[in-house]
Amino acid sequence: MQITAVLGASYGDEGKGKVVHSLAKLDTFTHVIRFNGSGNAGHTIYHNGKKYATHLVPAGVFYGKPSIIGSGCVLNPNKLIEEIEVLEAAGVPVRPWLKIAYNAHIITDDHLKIDNQDVSIGTTKQGNGPAYADKYLRKGIRAEKIKELESFIVDLYDEFYIKNTTAHILAEGAQGYLLDIDSKNYPFVTSSHCGIGSLLNNGFRHQDLKEIICVIKGYDTYVGAKNFQSPSDHMLDRICEYGQEYGVTTGRRRQVNYLNISELNKSLKMLGCTQLIVNKMDILKDLDCWKVLMNNEVVDLHTEDRFKAKILEVAGCPVKFSYSPYDI
């Protein structure tokens, strides 16, 4: 059994969905799993020329591969059923492939009510935080208790350590390292862990980890209540417009800043990155903007080559630069 993880090294919205979708078609991968977060996530996926937005359903369904919602996730059954129906109506069979860990937790109407009152964090209002809170208070409800989910329920130990012991799982992270609950950005974070430990806690052994692919964009974006974008720098607004930086789940405008090289250095190191994918290079190329942040100062690297060289230097591993929303 082997696992390849795809993790966000920034504030989410790095384009992990696209990366996972393009890897999931490879014969190498037999299963796809989501291991953290909930419907707060939004993945934009282009499949056979059509655009899809997924929130909870792992990208394996696009290729008829078993797709698992792991125990580290929390899920709203109504929203999940809605997502399944939308995908199936668009011609993507989901029900034959979807599996849910019996010990994933449920987002209830009460969780939604509480999250809808949030103003200070700027959550996605999907009930994510309150569901994790109840899980850790040990008064949560597990997926195995929900009648409508019965047919999807599995035990990941049985799936991968008894039945499919030669599986190669593609693990699809949600959010990113800088939104991890223990990040220094607390409280402006999500309520789950977004690193590799989070994946292992779904019931996997560290020996089974094969590769850790980290994903970023050529610039940073953040959506939430804190100030992130300098209001006087109009280039950042142009990046936002060219990059169409609006949330998949909430439609909110994302705040934009130049790629923070100092933070990237730390994220990649702590995620154990073995391969880096840099998305949305086309946006920077269109604007001919090659600025980064280093030690909180804007530094203009002037050329695409120098920009790429800086990222390669920090990554210390193979790096792919992507100039297209459709492939890596």
Applying CB under 6 A, among 15, 20, 34, 42 the residue interacting with ligand IMP is: 42
Annotated catalytic, 43?
Answer: yes
- Under the criterion CB under 6 A, does residue 267 sit at the interface with ligand IMP? no
Contact present, 97 and 56 (Cβ < 8 Å)? no
Smaller CB separation from ligand IMP, 126 or 322: 126
CB 169, CB 32: distance < 8 Å: yes
43 within 8 A of 17, measured Cβ to Cβ: yes
Q: Partners of 297 in the beta sheet?
A: 294
Q: Rounded to the nearest whole angstrom, what is the least distance from the CB of residue 173 to ligand IMP in the complex?
A: 10
Tell me how far, at minimum, the Cβ of 187 lies from ligand IMP, in Å: 9
Q: Which does 323 bind (CB under 5 to 8 A by kind): Mg ion, ligand IMP, none?
A: none
Tell the smallest beta-carbon distance from residue 222 to ligand IMP (Å).
Answer: 7
Give min distance, CB of 86 to ligand IMP, in A. 18
CA–CA separation, 257 vs 236, rounded Å? 6
Q: Which single residue brings its beta carbon nearest to ligand IMP?
A: 224
Q: What is the CA radius of gyration of the chain?
A: 19
Buried b (16+ CB within 10 A) or exposed e, 97-128: bbbbbbbbbbbbeebbebbeeeeebebbbbbb
Alpha carbons 296 and 190: distance in angstroms, whole number: 23
Q: Cα–Cα distance between 51 and 48 in angstroms, integer? A: 9
Q: Draw the binding track, 159-178, toward ligand IMP (x: CB under 6 A; -: no contact).
A: ---------------xx---
Active-site option among 21, 31, 43, 55: 43
CB-based burial, 176-203: b 16+ in 10 Å, e otherwise: bbbbbbebebeebbbbbbbbbebbbebb
Q: Residue 87 in 3-state DSSP? A: helix
Q: Which of residues 94-113 bind ligand IMP (CB under 6 A)?
A: none
Q: Which of 72, 79, 63, 130 is nearest to 101 (CA)?
A: 72
Q: What is the C-alpha to C-alpha distance for residues 65 and 77, in angstroms, rounded to an integer?
A: 21
Span from 105-113, 120-128, 262-270, 300-308 in contact with ligand IMP (CB under 6 A): 120-128
Query: Catalytic annotation on 302?
Result: no
For residue 12, state whether it binds ligand IMP (rule: CB under 6 A). yes
* Per-residue mark of binding to ligand IMP, 191-230 (x: CB under 6 A): x-------------------------------xx------
Least distance to ligand IMP, CB of residue 297, Å? 25
Residues that bind ligand IMP (CB under 6 A): 11-13, 40-42, 121-124, 126, 128-129, 174-175, 179, 188, 190-191, 223-224
Residues annotated as catalytic (active site), given as ranges: 13, 43
